Amino acid sequence: MRDAVYDGACHCKALAFRYSTAISPSGWSVRACQCRFCRMHDAHSTSDANGTLQFTAHQPAALQRYRFALKTADFLLCRQCGVYIGAVIDDGEGRFGIINTHALKNTPTDIAQVRPISYDDENVRARISRRQRKWTPLTVTSC
């Protein structure tokens, strides 16, 4: 199957992303992390290790990076409208990211069921390793 492209943005469109994947939405792994940040933002995250992802800050001053807990990733929020669009990790060897499916411009009607998940038992090494294996490689990005 050829990669399909999914565009997303925050509410005011200051921040955006383009997610490409060969996986149909019904086969996406959509995760609802149970940490406080993700629950408060009602984040539903997905990624594809074989896809590509690009984040764009149309208004760079609107980009707010937030790190918490183990401080291994930057969570991308809009300073203007408050929407969480995704997260990125730069491990020195590569950059990877996830998207918040709630920020998709057109949410697919056949998107997979969300499953709650907890990463509380991971240490820094395990968390980075999981993200390297499962998150989507970033292409050139302005975020």
**Residue 54 domain-assigned (yes or no):** yes
CATH number, domain containing residue 46: 2.170.150.70
Q: Identify the sign of the CA torsion 79, 4, 97, 112.
A: positive
- Segment-wise mean pLDDT, segments of 10 residues, the chain, 143 residues: 91 98 97 94 97 97 94 96 97 92 95 95 94 93 75
Q: What is the pLDDT of residue 143?
A: 76
**Residue 11 domain-assigned (yes or no):** yes
Q: What is the DSSP letter of 51?
A: S
Give the tens place of pLDDT for each residue, 31-56. Answer: 999 999 999 999 999 999 999 999 99
**Residue 48 domain-assigned (yes or no):** yes
Q: What is the pLDDT of residue 1?
A: 60
Residue 116, strand partner residues: 32
Domain count of the fold of the chain: 1
26, 96 Cβ separation under 8 angstroms: no
> pTM, whole model, 2 decimals?
0.94
**Residue 142 domain-assigned (yes or no):** no
**Residue 12 domain-assigned (yes or no):** yes
Q: Which domain holds residue 77?
A: 4-137
Nearest to residue 86, comparing CAs of 96, 97, 71, 70? Answer: 97
